[in-house]
């Protein structure tokens, strides 16, 4: 049962990071998106577009790592190479997502809410995966 709940939390964290990728790398210059990230105007969004584009791909790569890890975890029997590699990928991906959320908190109090959104599912998934 813990494995299923851990998988759901990890998969949701990965999906959230895919959504963040879409916002940062594809929709960044749309007013609805840059406002969500606290960018003051279209000019600033245009200037920061290359940085956001790059950052979005970091989020995508973390999500892909978690998804591949989940697939390996579920196809391998306990203790097999697939199981161990899957667990390692999931824990690394979720741990990196959580670390990024903690770094976000250090940039100012106004980033507490986004950090909680970004880091809660990875934290839950990480802790549960330790017991899966």
pLDDT digits (tens, 9 = 90+) for 107-127: 999 999 999 999 999 999 999
The structure tokens 């949701």 sit at: 12
Q: Are the beta carbons of 24 and 61 closer than 8 angstroms?
A: no
**Structural domain for 106, as ranges:** 2-131
Interatomic CA distance for residues 19 and 34, integer angstroms:
14
Q: Quick one: pLDDT at residue 16?
A: 98
Q: What percent of the chain has pLDDT over 70?
A: 100
- Average of per-residue pLDDT across 23-43: 97
Domains held by the chain: number: 1
Q: What is the pTM of this model?
A: 0.94
Q: Quick one: pLDDT at residue 87?
A: 97
Show Cβ contacts of residue 109 under 8 Å, excluding neighbours closer than 6 positions: none
* Integer angstrom CA distances of residue 95 from 32, 35, 39, 89: 29, 28, 27, 10
Show Cβ contacts of residue 113 under 8 Å, excluding neighbours closer than 6 positions: none
């Amino acid at each position: 049962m813990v494995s299923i709940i851990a998988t759901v939390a990890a998969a949701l964290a990965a999906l959230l990071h895919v959504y963040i990728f879409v916002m940062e790398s594809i929709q960044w210059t749309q007013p609805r998106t840059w406002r969500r990230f606290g960018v003051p105007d279209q000019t600033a969004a245009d200037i920061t577009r290359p940085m956001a584009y790059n950052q979005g791909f970091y989020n995508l790569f973390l999500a892909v790592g978690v998804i591949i890890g989940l697939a390996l975890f579920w196809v391998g029997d306990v203790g097999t190479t697939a199981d161990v590699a899957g667990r390692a990928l999931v824990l690394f991906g979720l741990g990196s997502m959580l670390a990024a959320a903690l770094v976000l908190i250090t940039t100012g109090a106004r980033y507490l809410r986004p950090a909680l959104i970004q880091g809660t599912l990875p934290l839950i998934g990480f802790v549960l995966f330790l017991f899966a």
